[in-house]
Each structure stands twice: as structure tokens, then as C-alpha cells.
Amino acid sequence: MTSSSNELKKKMQYRRLGRSGIQVSVLSFGSWVTFDNQLKDDTALECMQAAYDAGCNFFDNAEAYAGGESESIMGRVMQQLGWPRHSFVLTTKFFWGLHGRMPNMQNTLNRKYLMHAMEGSLERMQVDFIDVIYCHRPDPNTPIEETVWAMSDIISSGRALYWGTSEWSADEIRAAWDIADRHHLHKPIVEQPQYNMFARRRVETEYARLYEDIGLGTSIWSPLASGLLTGKYANGIPDDSRGALPGHGWLADRLTDPAQVGKVEQLRPIAAELDCSLAQLAIAWCAANPQVSTVITGASRASQVVENFAAIDVLPKLTSDVMERIAAVVR
């Protein structure tokens, strides 16, 4: 462990995941886009170790990431690292499936799919249980009752400890929670929505009642708006960036939108005053929201992990005055 990592670890904050008892690091590490596309086993190991050394205990994945290879990479890396299983929280998500257009195995949350998906993730990640499993998207073609019963049964079987949702509406989350409450089943404890300075409505408005009413936690993704908030797209799309990856051309227009890029540039003086990068400012801004349980970060190299996790130093600097200045720019 480097001295910088050791200092970050001492400063790391831990928050309960909603109203549950489990505590997660306010900054966490996810594998979306990077694992397999940009990171193979060796670099993934370096990045995960850097995050762990900085106090991260929450590692996010999904069955569909890189067609299952993301889970496989993380599983192999964890075996090499040999971390005590009690020292980290492992997550994955189900919905898209890995079996093409086969009936019951794609774009669904029916019981049959969920049971198969759970077994596949355990095998790829080489663990006996996964701490948090998510329904990666809502499924309008499967009754919510069926999904809730299946997720609760997985928890009861010991193959997972908690469950939640990702990109569900407030009404869908409340319906799932009410069904679980009525039948004394394991309730969803966490939602994983996109949240950043340019995507605020769901976390700040739509879910507002759920934090108090049902104790909803959030593990938010894309705190950097797919890299836009790093400022590196001010002059177009760099060759080594996410926007240049095959299959990610859909990001290009958003990442180079003049209005959004202009707002990012207005944030640059604020970051300079706080002695931090734009990325650190954006990550810390997300963590400043008390309804955010953990901010999922990604990286393509270990040095980037260390830089991102240094956002923990920026968090105390986000006074009400600074937050108002940021709001004036991004609203």
C-alpha cells in the first residue's frame, strides 16, 4: 500500500445502504465499460487493489457487462488477491441475459431467468454468495409479485444477502416494497440510478419520498456523466477515452455538446480554487448528497483510481456557498 493510499483509507467514509445495517464506502469501484473493453486481468487487479487500499469495500458488476466476462475477470482477480471475504461487498445485476434471443433468458425478471442468472454469476465470480443483487431494469412483462418472490427466495437461500433495483421508477420500487412488506418477504433496500450534475431529477426529486418512507439507499453510477465532467472533451473526443470505444458512438454527441461542455468549463475555476480536478469535484459533489449511499467510480488504470478516490479530500470543502456556485452553473 502506498502512503497516498494509506492516507485515503484513513479518510474514507462509510454509510449504511439505506435503512439496512450493511455499511459501504462512500466511494466505490465498478467494472462497467472498462473490464474486458479496456482492462484485462492484470490491470483490473491493479485497479481493484488501488481501490481496496483506499478504503473501498464496495465492488459493482453486472451479468451483462462484457457478456459475462466482466464478472469472470473480477472473479479471477479476487482469487488472486485473496482478500478476506468479509472485507468487501460484492454486487451484480440481472435482466439482459447472456443467451441471445432464447425465450425466458433475455430482457426479463421472471423466476426461471433469475434462478439461472444467480447460479451463473456465482460460478463466474467464484464465490458462495453475492452481497447485493439488483434487478437491472424493470420488466413490464413479468408481474412484480413474481420478481419480488424470486428475489426474496434467493436471499432466503443464502446465495445473496440483499437485493435492490436499478433504473426503476419510484412507483415500481414502492410497489415491489409494498408486496414484500405485505407477504413478509425480503424487501428491496437500494436503487442504482444514474446521478451527476447533469442528471439529477430521479435522485433529488422522483425518489424523494422513498428515502424517508421505506429507507431507500442509492448506489449511484456515472458521477462523471460518462467522462463529460472531467473536462477532457472540451476539444473533441480523445482517442484513448470512453467516447472513442467501439460501440460507444452514441456518447459522442452528448460528450461534445457545446452547451454542456461550456458548463463544464465554468466549473473549472471552482475546482482550481478547491485545489482539485474537475473529476474530483464532480465525484465529491455526488457524495455530498446525504441520500447517496455510495458513488460508483470507474477507471482504466490504477493511477486514475487513486485520483478519483482523492475526491474524499474535496468533500469537506463543499460548503453551502460552493454548492450554490455549482448549482448556478449546472441548473
Q: Which residues of 286-304 are buried (b: 16+ CB within 10 A; e: fewer)?
A: bbbbebbbbbbbbbbebeb
Q: Mean per-residue pLDDT for 307-329?
A: 98
Q: 180-187: list long-range contacts, CB under 8 Å, 24+ apart.
A: 180/148, 180/152, 183/148, 183/149, 185/148, 185/149, 185/152, 186/151, 186/152, 186/155, 186/156, 186/162, 187/214
> Taking the model in full, what pTM does it have?
0.92
266 in a domain, yes or no?
A: no
243 in a domain, yes or no?
A: no
Give one word for 222, left, alpha or beta, with left for phi > 0 and alpha for psi -120 to 50.
left
25 neighbors 83 (Cβ within 8 angstroms): no
The whole-number pLDDT of residue 233 equals 77
Q: Which residue has the higher pLDDT, 303 or 258?
A: 303
Q: Is the pLDDT of residue 252 over 90?
A: no
323 in a domain, yes or no?
A: no
Q: Is the pLDDT of residue 245 over 60?
A: no
28 neighbors 56 (Cβ within 8 angstroms): yes
The whole-number pLDDT of residue 257 equals 85
Q: Is the pLDDT of residue 64 over 90?
A: yes
278 in a domain, yes or no?
A: no
The whole-number pLDDT of residue 39 equals 75
Q: How far apart are the first and last CA of the chain?
A: 40
279 in a domain, yes or no?
A: no
248 in a domain, yes or no?
A: no
Cα torsion angle, 261, 267, 269, 274, sign: negative
Q: Is the pLDDT of residue 243 over 60?
A: no
40 in a domain, yes or no?
A: yes
The whole-number pLDDT of residue 36 equals 66
Going by pLDDT thresholds of 50, 70 and 90, the confidence category of residue 238 is: low
Q: Is the pLDDT of residue 262 over 80?
A: yes
249 in a domain, yes or no?
A: no
The whole-number pLDDT of residue 3 equals 60
Where in the sequence is the domain holding 16, given as residue range(s)?
3-227+285-318
Q: Report the CATH number that the domain containing residue 16 is assigned in CATH.
A: 3.20.20.100
| 3-class secondary-structure state, position 58 | strand
Percent of the chain with pLDDT over 90: 83
Q: What is the pLDDT of residues 23-37, one digit of tens each?
A: 999 999 999 877 667
Among 172, 101, 104, which residue's Cα sits nearest to residue 135? 172
DSSP annotation of 185 reads: P
- Catalytic-labelled residue, pool 52, 65, 207, 233: 65
Mean pLDDT of the chain, nearest integer: 93
* 126 C-beta neighbours (distance < 10 Å), count: 14
The whole-number pLDDT of residue 256 equals 82
Q: Is the pLDDT of residue 309 over 80?
A: yes
Task: Respond yes or no: is residue 65 known to be catalytic.
Answer: yes
Going by pLDDT thresholds of 50, 70 and 90, the confidence category of residue 69 is: very high
What's the number of domains the chain is made of?
1
Q: Which residue has the higher pLDDT, 269 or 9?
A: 269
Q: How far apart are CA 199 and CA 111, in angstroms?
A: 32
Range with the poorest average pLDDT among 8-22, 81-95, 229-243, 277-291 = 229-243
What burial class does residue 248 get, using C-beta atoms within 10 Å of its C-beta: 0-12 exposed, 13-18 middle, 19+ buried? middle
Q: What is the pLDDT of residues 98-149, one digit of tens each?
A: 988 899 999 999 999 999 999 999 999 999 999 999 999 999 999 999 999 9
Q: Is the pLDDT of residue 305 over 90?
A: yes
Q: Is the pLDDT of residue 250 over 60?
A: no
Report the number of secondary-structure helices (H) and strands (E) in the chain: 13, 10
